Structure 1
Amino acid sequence: MSNAATDLNTRALAAQILVQVLPLNRQNLHPRSLSDLLPAVAEKDKDQGLLQELCFGVCRWYTRLDKVATPFIRQPFKSRDADLHALLLLGLYQMLYLRVPDHAAISETVEACRQLNKPWAVKVLNGMLRQAQRNKSNLENTLPDNLAISTAHPKWLVDALTSAWPAQAEKILQANNEPGPMCLRVNRLHGSRDAYLARLNEKQIKARAGEFADSAVYLQQPVDVLELPGFSEGHVSVQDEAAQLSALLLAPQPGDRILDACAAPGGKTGHILELQPALSELVALDVDNTRLQRVQENLTRLQLRATLVHSDLQQYNAGAGLFDRILLDAPCSATGVIRRHPDIKWLRKRADIRQLAETQLRLLKVAFNLLKPGGSLLYATCSALPQENNRVVQLFLAHEPLAHEIKIDADWGQDAGIGRQLFANEKAHDGFYYAHLMREAQGH
C-alpha cells in the first residue's frame, strides 16, 4: 500500500485491496485476506464503513459481478491493470447492490482511475460503466442459471456442499451471502442475560435472547463495542452463538486442568473461565504469537487469568495425561463463517481441504495424548464440510482404541453421524461442527 494511501478516494483504496485478494492478477500467487489488509488501510480512510462495504460486497458477489462485466470488456485486462478490473467490478457492485446514485458511483469510480495513475483508461472505464448503466435492468437477466453463479461461490465448493448436504446446500449458499448478525456473550460472573438485556434496553439498543446458548444475545443492528454497556469492564464480549457452545459442551468443573489448544483470539478461553473461575489451571496455547497477544488483551478486559503458551501443539511438551478437558478448535477452511469473511470463497482451494484434514487428524492425535484417563476432548471447527469434521473424527476413532464418542444430546444443529453440525443461519448463528470424545479410564 503506498504512502499516498491517505490521498486516494475510497474506491481507489478498495481496488488496491481487492487486487491482493481476488484472482484478478495472474501474477499474484499469494493472495491475502481482507482481515489482513483492511485494518491498516481503514485507519487512513475517513469512510471506513464504505471501504469495508465495497471490499466485502465485491468479494461476496465476485464471480456474479465478473459475469455481468464480461460483455463490456473488449479485451482481457493485463496483469498490471488488475486494479482497472477491480474498479469495473466496484462500479457494477455500487450500481447493482448499493443505494449509491449511479452518477455518483460512476464519477467516483472513474476519479479513482485517475488517482491510480491510469489517465489513459479513464475514457475506457467511463464508457464501460455508462454502457452498464444504460443496460442496468437487463444486466443480470442473461446470467447462467446455476448455483455457482446465482450465489457467487466457486464450483468446487458448491459441488462439495451439494454432495454433503443435498437438502440444505442451497440454503447454506444463500446464508453465506447475508451479513451475519452481531451476537454477544454475556459474562454471567457480572449478571444474568436478562439483566444485560435490560441494560441494552435502557440504552435503546434493540436485542433479543439467543436460541440455545444461555449467554447469547443478538443485536438488531451492529453497534460499536464501546457503545455496549460494560464492554470495557468485561461484562460482555462479541462471540457468535454457535461458538459459545464450545465452553458449554466442554462443561468445565472446579479443579479441572484445561487446555485450549488453538486459543487465539481468546473468545472461547474467556468463556471457559467465565463458566468456571475455580479451575486448577487453564492453558491457552497458540502457534501464532501475535494472535496470542489478542488472547491476553481479551483476558485483561475480562479480568481473568490463564497460562499463555506460544507453541505449535505438535511441539508442546507438557507431558502425556496432563489435562482433564481439552478444547481443540482446529484450523479449518472456515466455510461455516463465509458470511463474515466473504474472501474465503476465493482464498480457499479444493486441494486445501485434504491438507487441512490431514493437519486436523494430526492435531487430534496429539491433543488426545495430553488427556488424563477419563478426560474429555471437544473437537470443533467452523467448517461446513464433512471431510474436516465427522470424517476426521471417524478416522481417529478407528485407530485409537482408548477413544470413545460422547453423544451430544441437543436440539440444535443436525446429527452428523459422529458429532453435530450447525449451518450458517441468516438471522442467527454461524456454521460450526462439534464432536465430544472421552479417553477411556484406566482399568476398563
Structure 2
Amino acid sequence: MRGAPRRAPEQPIDSLGYALARATELVAGVIDGANLTDVFERMQAGHPEWPEGTRGAVRDLAWSTLREFGRGDAILSRLLHSPPPVEIRALLLVALQRLTQRPEQAHTVVDQAVGATAVAMPGLRNLVNGVLRNALRRQPEWQGWIEAEPEARHAFPAWWVERVRSAHPQAWQDLLAAGNTRPPMALRVNPRRATLAEVEAELAAAGLEFRRLDNDALVLARPLAVARLPGYAEGRLSVQDAGAQWAAQLLDVRAGERVLDACAAPGGKTAHILERADADLLALELDPLRAGRVARNLDRLGLRAELKVADCRRLAAWWDGRPFDRILADVPCSASGVVRRHPDIKWLRRDSDIANFAAQQAEILEALWRTLAPGGTMLYVTCSVFDEENAGQVARFCVRHADAERLPIRGSSDLQLLPCADHDGFYYALLRKRP
C-alpha cells in the first residue's frame, strides 16, 4: 500500500532549520490574527528544554520578519502565481528575512527551509525550494520591487504612514525608520537594594557596555538575556525602557501619599514608584494573568502594593471612596510608540482602532478624575505617537473640566518622546486638580 509522503525527522533543536520552523509558527499565528507575544510565551512554556541560543534565534527570526513583513510580502508577490497555504507563506517570509540578514548563508538557508517544509508539509518541498532559488536569482531586483510599493518601502500600512506624517510632519520619515529598527535594552536600578554606582561597576566588571541617560536609565550597547544581568535575580535592577522610566519621576510621589496605578501591568512603573517612595499604592489590572506578572515583579524587587483585578472605569467594583493624592493613568493605546518591540501591532491594527482607543481613554480619564483629591496630580501616559490619543485627548479633557490645570513638564505643556536609539515612543501630560 502507498501511504502519505514520509515526513522527515524533526530537525536538531540547535539547527537553523528548527529555528526557521518555530519562527514560521509564530509568523503564521500573527497572519491569522494572533498576538505575537502571547503566542511566543505559550511556545516557550511548551519547550522548557530550549537553550538560550534557540530561544534567541526563534525570537529574532520572528520579530525581524514581522518588522519587515511588508517588504517580504512585496518580494513574494513577484515570485508566486497564487497564494500558498499560510504556513508556507510564513516560512517563505522567514527564509527571505534570513537571506536578507545573512546573504553569505544563502545555500544553507534554502536547504534548511526545505528541510523545515519536509517536516511540516512534505508535499510542498519543491514549491519552497523553487521559490527561494528563484528569489536568489532575482535578488538584485528586490529593492526595486520594494521601492515601487509605499507600504513595502516604509514597512508600515498606508494609513499608519499618513497618521504619522500628519502628527509629525518634520520627523515622520525618521519616526517610521526607527520603528523598523531593533529596540534598545535599558535598565533601571532599584535604589532599595543597590546604588547606581554599584550597578554600573557590576555591569562594567561583567564586560557589558552601557551609557547613562539624564534620567539615570542605563542603556546597554547590546541586548542580552536577563539571566546574564548581574544583580537581576537579586532585584538590584530591572529591564525597563528608558522612556518609560520618566513616569515615576514625573509623578514625583512623596512618602505616605495615597497613589493609584490604574492600568498597572506588567508592573514596571508600579515598582519604580515604590522604589522611589514609601507610598500607599493601589495597583489595578483588568487581566488576571497580567496582574500575576505585576505581583511577581514586585516580589522580585522586595516591594509591596495592594493589587486588585478590576476595570478602573467601574469605580463601584474597587474604589472605597478615599481620594488619591497621585494617579498614574498609563492608559491602553495603539502602542504605536513601541511597535519595534511588538511588530505584529502595525499589521494587526486598523485605522478605526485609534478612535476606539481614544474613546476608551476618555472614559478612563473621566472615571479616574472623580477619585483624585483636590490639589492632587494625575499623570496621563501613552506609548503612542498619534495625536488623537495624546495632545488631542488631553486638550479635549481640559475643555470638559474647568478644574483641570496643566502642569509644565521640562518647560513644556507636555512631553512627546519619539522612538530613537535611546528609548521608545511615549507621551506624558501632568494634570492638577484645582482645590
TM over 0.5: yes
The reply to whether residue 435 of structure 1 matches residue 429 of structure 2 is yes
Percent of matched pairs sharing the same residue: 36
Which digits, 9 at most, give the CA deviation of each residue in 1:201-233, with x for residues without a partner?
A: 1121111112x313x101111122222222122
The reply to whether residue 130 of structure 1 matches residue 133 of structure 2 is yes
Which digits, 9 at most, give the CA deviation of each residue in 1:114-161, with x for residues without a partner?
A: 2112x3321122111111111223322233356532220011000000
Contact 1:5 1:41 in 2 (8 A): no
1:174 aligned residue (177, 192, 196): 177
Which digits, 9 at most, give the CA deviation of each residue in 1:172-221, with x for residues without a partner?
A: 111111111110001122333233211211121111112x313x101111
Which digits, 9 at most, give the CA deviation of each residue in 1:296-322, with x for residues without a partner?
A: 111111111100011000123314561
Q: Distance in 2 between matches of 1:236 and 1:111?
A: 42
Give the SS at the match of 2:243.
helix
- Residue in 2 aligned with 1:301? 300
Contact 1:252 1:272 in 2 (8 A): yes
- Residue in 2 aligned with 1:384? 385
Q: Distance in 1 between matches of 2:100 and 2:166?
A: 31
Give the SS at the match of 1:188.
coil
Moved more, 352-361 or 219-228: 219-228
1:71 aligned residue (78, 102, 107): 78
Q: Distance in 2 between matches of 1:301 and 1:123?
A: 51
Which digits, 9 at most, give the CA deviation of each residue in 1:270-319, with x for residues without a partner?
A: 10011112x2x100111111111111111111111100011000123314
Q: Distance in 1 between matches of 2:210 and 2:394?
A: 37
Report the TM-score, using the length of structure 1 for normalisation: 0.90
CA spacing shift, 1:202–1:99, aligned 2, 3 Å: farther
Which digits, 9 at most, give the CA deviation of each residue in 1:380-411, with x for residues without a partner?
A: 0000101111111111111112111112125x
Give the SS at the match of 1:345.
helix
- Residue in 1 aligned with 2:55? 48
The reply to whether residue 98 of structure 1 matches residue 141 of structure 2 is no
Return 5+ residue gaps in structure 2 as ranges.
1-9
Return 5+ residue gaps in structure 1 as ranges.
23-27
Q: Aligned runs of 1:140-289 on 2, under 5 Å? A: 140-145=143-148, 147-210=150-213, 212-214=214-216, 216-277=217-278, 279=279, 281-289=280-288
Give the SS at the match of 1:336.
helix
Which digits, 9 at most, give the CA deviation of each residue in 1:94-118, with x for residues without a partner?
A: 111235611111111111212112x
Contact 2:74 2:145 in 1 (8 A): no
Which digits, 9 at most, give the CA deviation of each residue in 1:48-73, with x for residues without a partner?
A: 22211111111001111111111210
CA spacing shift, 1:124–1:224, aligned 2, 3 Å: closer
Give the SS at the match of 1:421.
strand
AA aligned to 1:419 is D
The reply to whether residue 9 of structure 1 matches residue 18 of structure 2 is yes
- Residue in 1 aligned with 2:27? 18
Count, aligned residues: 416
Q: Aligned runs of 1:28-47 on 2, under 5 Å? A: 28=32, 31-42=33-44, 44=47, 45=50, 47=54
Deviation at 1:9, TM superposition (A): 2.6
Q: Distance in 2 between matches of 1:5 and 1:104?
A: 14
Q: Distance in 2 between matches of 1:197 and 1:253?
A: 27
Q: Distance in 2 between matches of 1:208 and 1:354?
A: 38
Compute the RMSD of aligned alpha carbons: 1.8
CA spacing shift, 1:9–1:195, aligned 2, 3 Å: closer
Deviation at 1:13, TM superposition (A): 2.2
Q: Distance in 1 between matches of 2:11 and 2:364?
A: 41
2:120 aligned residue (116, 133, 136): 116
Give the SS at the match of 2:93.
helix
Q: Distance in 2 between matches of 1:349 and 1:120?
A: 35
Q: Distance in 2 between matches of 1:34 and 1:289?
A: 19
AA aligned to 1:19 is A
AA aligned to 2:29 is Q
Contact 2:24 2:87 in 1 (8 A): yes
- Residue in 2 aligned with 1:25? none
Contact 1:327 1:378 in 2 (8 A): yes
